[in-house]
């Protein structure tokens, strides 16, 4: 239950609407009970009076109509106010959760699957709307209405009123406790099975092309069906318990009604007009108590799911980012001076013991072009991850423009470095907007068209929509090579003075690769370029070549220096090729 406290604190952002919602809920519930109670007295009194006696039916009939109208109006506005307040809190919660997630990227979030994160941000947060609508507001309303009903009925008969009131209050404690423990047994399992199903379903949909291509859809379908059946089994348990809670409350309500009738039939109502009619009043008041308790049992049946969802969200928001941007400096680059200086750098990934960077030493001048070679898993991409501070090294120094990289603000670091990873993310948006993210300033359509033509994507402009072409989630209409070239187009539109490229020409044919490399080198004439590559096309045009193997820098120098180095790694590589 303690896991719910962070979400209860969010109520302060909608205190007034939530308070008004509870008032309206109390008003609607009180009007409903008053309507039934007064109707019981009115019908009984008119039956006792008969047709030969004068009886003022205007006041009670007007009151009945008033309570009926009041109940409808109160419940209408209560739904509007409570749901509006809840949606505002959920919006605040989503923003809060998302703001917690952003600093965790990518070091901490790599532990979670993307679909699992989506489930926590959407489905689990949605489940928390029950916290106010089904738990807190109905419980508070029930307490207030029971007390008010007891006080009102005590004017007619104190003993019967106290009997009904105390019985309802005891049930208000016992019933939620019982159904909390019953629902808590499978609440976590139901929430987890729901999350597993949605995760598997999303991944199944996203991988449709590959699954059909390799005829591998059937095993995943079977796994998806098994997960769905497990989820449905837990839902069946929930439905059974929900039906049991309704049946139990109906049975208890029948006992209260029977007991009230038996006690009221032998009670002394004093000098009230038509005292026997008060039997109907108390009987229907007891019957109306069903409306107070009915939402409570079902609500506490769901509390296990609410707590489980809260714990899943808290698991993300309680994570601490591995990298803290506490610096205050801004980057100032001086031409022909060392822009990157690495001394005795040592790094291993969290929860791993093997070194990804082992005592690396490297110096790169401003506006220098550096190519980094090495086999897969040698530590090349890790070095770029450290340069953009996705991680911090455990040992050694990493200086940027003469200062420790940790001394810079995040905004300054992001503005001065353009980083193209191996995976190019295409947003579900237009071609124009997918290119515009490369710059904070407005880019003209003519620039978009020019860059697309240069990277070989002019055929996208031939579509009827032009720059308004919708690319869809993940860029499904584009091939892998086209996605890579779209990423390069973003690089060419970016004005950052430091460019980091991780396998920028992977998946491109030789001719396209040469053209793209020429574009990159032309774009980076006045920039610092660090490029990871497995291919040696145009490698002689780089100022410095660094070779990393087994997390260590084993060779560096210009093309002419390395090609003439006897028994050098680079020379042997060229001879093999």
Q: Is residue 577 very low, low, confident or very high in pLDDT (cuts 50, 70, 90)? A: low
Domain with CATH 1.20.1560.10 in the chain: 2-317
**For 478-487, what is each residue's pLDDT tens digit?**
887 888 889 8
Mean pLDDT across the chain: 85
- The average pLDDT across 150-163 equals 88
Helix (H, G, I), strand (E, B) or coil at 212: helix
Bridge pairing between strands 544-549 and 369-373: parallel
pLDDT for the residue numbered 1: 65
pLDDT for the residue numbered 53: 64
Which neighbouring-strand residues pair with 343?
397
pLDDT for the residue numbered 54: 65
Q: Is residue 422 very low, low, confident or very high in pLDDT (cuts 50, 70, 90)? A: confident
How many Cβ atoms are within 10 Å of 175's Cβ, its own excluded? Answer: 19
Domain with CATH 3.40.50.300 in the chain: 338-576
The percentage of residues in the chain with a pLDDT greater than 90, rounded to a whole number, is 11
Question: 564 versus 473: which is more confidently predicted?
Answer: 564
**For 9-67, what is each residue's pLDDT tens digit?**
888 888 888 899 899 999 998 998 888 888 888 888 788 777 656 667 778 788 888 88
Question: 274 versus 376: which is more confidently predicted?
Answer: 376
Q: Is residue 427 very low, low, confident or very high in pLDDT (cuts 50, 70, 90)? A: confident
Whether 471 shows a pLDDT value over 90: the answer reads no
pLDDT for the residue numbered 7: 79
**For 328-355, what is each residue's pLDDT tens digit?**
888 888 877 889 999 999 998 887 888 8
pLDDT for the residue numbered 472: 79
Give me the phi and psi of 367, to 5 degrees please.
70, 10
Distance in angstroms (rounded) separating the CA atoms of residues 484 and 20: 54
pLDDT for the residue numbered 369: 92
How many Cβ atoms are within 10 Å of 326's Cβ, its own excluded? Answer: 9
The CA-atom distances, in angstroms, between 372 and each of 265, 339, 384 are: 95, 17, 10
pLDDT for the residue numbered 318: 82
- HSE-up (13 A, CA, CB side) for residue 540: 5
**For 488-544, what is each residue's pLDDT tens digit?**
999 999 989 999 998 888 877 788 888 888 899 999 998 999 999 888 888 888 999
For residue 446, give every residue at least 6 positions away whose Cβ sits within 8 Å of its Cβ, in sequence order, or none.
Answer: none
Whether 407 shows a pLDDT value over 60: the answer reads yes
Tokens of 498: 């430091």
Tokens of 36: 């039934």
For residue 430, give every residue at least 6 positions away whose Cβ sits within 8 Å of its Cβ, in sequence order, or none.
Answer: 465, 467, 468, 469, 470, 471
Bridge pairing between strands 528-532 and 498-502: parallel
For residue 42, give every residue at least 6 positions away whose Cβ sits within 8 Å of its Cβ, in sequence order, or none.
Answer: 57, 60, 61, 64
Whether 475 shows a pLDDT value over 80: the answer reads no
Helix (H, G, I), strand (E, B) or coil at 462: coil
Distance in angstroms (rounded) separating the CA atoms of residues 112 and 366: 37
b/e per residue 85-120 (b: at least 16 CB within 10 A): bbeebbeebeebbeebbebbeebbbeebeebbbebb
Contact between residue 299 and residue 132 where contact means Cβ atoms under 8 Å apart? no
Distance in angstroms (rounded) separating the CA atoms of residues 409 and 111: 26
Give the architecture-level CATH label for domain 2-317: Up-down Bundle (1.20)
Q: Where would I find the H helices in 388-509? A: 410-416, 431-436, 445-454, 458-461, 480-493
pLDDT for the residue numbered 103: 80
Contact between residue 491 and residue 523 where contact means Cβ atoms under 8 Å apart? yes
Tokens of 396: 């050694």
**For 222-267, what is each residue's pLDDT tens digit?**
888 988 898 888 888 888 888 888 888 889 888 988 888 888 888 7
Distance in angstroms (rounded) separating the CA atoms of residues 322 and 385: 13
pLDDT for the residue numbered 371: 92
Q: Is residue 566 very low, low, confident or very high in pLDDT (cuts 50, 70, 90)? A: confident
Tokens of 75: 């419940």
Instruction: Name the superfamily (CATH) of residues 338-576.
Output: P-loop containing nucleotide triphosphate hydrolases (3.40.50.300)
pLDDT for the residue numbered 176: 82
**For 181-231, what is each residue's pLDDT tens digit?**
877 777 778 888 888 888 888 888 878 877 887 888 888 888 889 888 988
């Amino acid at each position: 239950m303690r896991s719910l406290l962070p979400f209860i604190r969010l109520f302060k952002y909608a205190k007034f609407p939530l308070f008004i919602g509870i008032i309206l809920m109390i008003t609607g519930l009180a009007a409903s009970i008053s309507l039934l109670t007064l109707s019981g007295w009115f019908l009984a009194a008119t039956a006792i009076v008969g047709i030969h006696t004068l009886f003022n039916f205007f006041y009670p009939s007007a009151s009945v109509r008033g309570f009926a109208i009041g109940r409808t109006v109160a419940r209408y506005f209560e739904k509007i106010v409570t749901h509006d307040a809840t949606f505002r809190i959920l919006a605040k919660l989503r923003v809060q959760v998302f703001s917690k997630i952003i600093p965790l990227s990518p070091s901490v979030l790599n532990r979670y699957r993307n679909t699992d994160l989506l489930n926590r941000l959407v489905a689990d947060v949605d489940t928390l709307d029950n916290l106010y609508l089904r738990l807190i507001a109905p419980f508070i309303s029930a307490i207030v209405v029971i007390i008010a009903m007891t006080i009102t009925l005590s004017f007619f008969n104190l003993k019967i009123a106290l009997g009904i009131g105390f019985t309802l209050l005891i049930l208000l404690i016992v019933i939620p406790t019982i159904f909390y423990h019953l629902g808590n047994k499978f609440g976590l399992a139901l929430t987890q099975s729901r999350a597993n199903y949605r995760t598997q379903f999303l991944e199944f949909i996203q991988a449709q092309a590959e699954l059909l291509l390799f005829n591998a859809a059937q095993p995943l379908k079977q796994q998806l069906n098994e997960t769905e059946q497990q989820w449905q089994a837990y839902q069946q348990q929930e439905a059974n318990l929900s039906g049991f809670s309704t049946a139990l409350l109906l049975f208890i309500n029948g006992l209260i009604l029977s007991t009230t009738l038996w006690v009221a039939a032998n009670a002394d109502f004093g000098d009230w007009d038509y005292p026997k009619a008060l039997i109907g009043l108390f009987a229907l008041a007891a019957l109306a108590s069903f409306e107070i308790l009915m939402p409570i049992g079902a609500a506490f049946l769901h509390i296990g799911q609410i707590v489980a969802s809260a714990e899943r969200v808290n698991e993300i928001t309680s994570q601490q980012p591995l990298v803290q941007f506490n610096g205050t400096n801004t980057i100032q680059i001086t031409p022909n001076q060392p822009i990157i200086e690495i001394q005795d750098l040592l790094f291993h990934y969290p929860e791993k013991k093997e070194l990804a960077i082992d005592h690396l030493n490297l110096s790169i001048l401003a506006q220098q072009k550096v190519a980094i070679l090495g086999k897969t898993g040698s530590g090349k991409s890790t070095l770029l991850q450290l340069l953009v501070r996705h991680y911090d090294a455990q040992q050694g120094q990493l200086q940027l423009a003469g200062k420790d990289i940790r001394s810079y603000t995040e905004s300054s670091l992001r503005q001065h470095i353009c980083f193209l990873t191996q995976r190019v993310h295409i947003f579900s948006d237009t071609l124009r907007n997918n290119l515009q993210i490369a710059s904070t300033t407005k880019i003209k359509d003519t620039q978009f068209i020019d860059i697309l033509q240069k990277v070989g994507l002019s055929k996208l402009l031939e579509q009827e929509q032009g720059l308004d072409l919708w690319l869809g989630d993940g860029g499904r209409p584009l091939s892998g090579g086209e996605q890579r070239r779209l990423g390069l187009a973003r690089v060419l539109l970016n004005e950052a003075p430091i460019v980091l490229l991780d396998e920028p020409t992977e998946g491109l044919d030789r001719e396209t690769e040469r053209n793209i490399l020429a574009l990159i080198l032309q774009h980076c004439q006045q920039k610092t370029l660090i490029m990871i590559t497995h291919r040696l096309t145009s490698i002689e045009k780089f100022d410095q070549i660094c070779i990393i193997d087994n997390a260590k820098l084993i060779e560096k120098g210009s093309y002419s220096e390395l090609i003439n180095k006897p028994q050098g790694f680079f020379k042997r590589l060229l001879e093999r090729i």
